Structure 1
């Protein structure tokens, strides 16, 4: 069994995030932009990338998805059971 280094993990996570972003935008652009917090310009770039630029961006070493849970109240509200 091989070891997975951080760069591989970041690339894999980025590819998953880019794929999800693309699906969200292609399903419903307005809702996708809202969920992603994306501007129309960024949404346009994400909607139709070929695999080569997607791999380049994913392999940048920077996390593309950012956790927006920056307030305890937000985390607590999301963690509450749905009634």
Structure 2
């Protein structure tokens, strides 16, 4: 069971890092907001070589995380009864106000 979870974590980490790098290369400012990272982390992710991405993905902890514990934000994203577009815009505004990740 633990091996399966570690495989899933590795796959998720790999997908996240590859997506983050692609997003940052396409539109850095929008990607930083969507990923919830600062410029130092964006630089690090953008400059990762494929081998570095594979090594990072293989760690046994998730590299991505929810960047918010805001119940209102989670409800806006998960509530299907409201107008989806308005809820997404509201969630984006709330998420933009959240602190971003930085390297220590």
Q: Greater shift after overlay, 18-27 or 69-78?
A: 69-78
Q: Which runs of 5+ in 2 are unaligned?
A: 86-104
In the superposition, the TM-score normalised over structure 2's length comes to 0.69
Structure 1 match to 2:17: 18
Structure 2 match to 1:81: 83
Q: Greater shift after overlay, 73-82 or 16-25?
A: 73-82
Taking the TM superposition and a 5 Å limit, the aligned residue runs for 1:4-83 are: 5-78=4-77, 79=79, 80-82=82-84
Kindly indicate whether the alpha-carbon contact (under 8 Å) linking 2:16 and 2:64 is maintained by their aligned counterparts in 1: yes
RMSD of aligned alpha carbons:
1.6
Count residues in correspondence: 80
Distance 1:12 1:29 in 2: 24
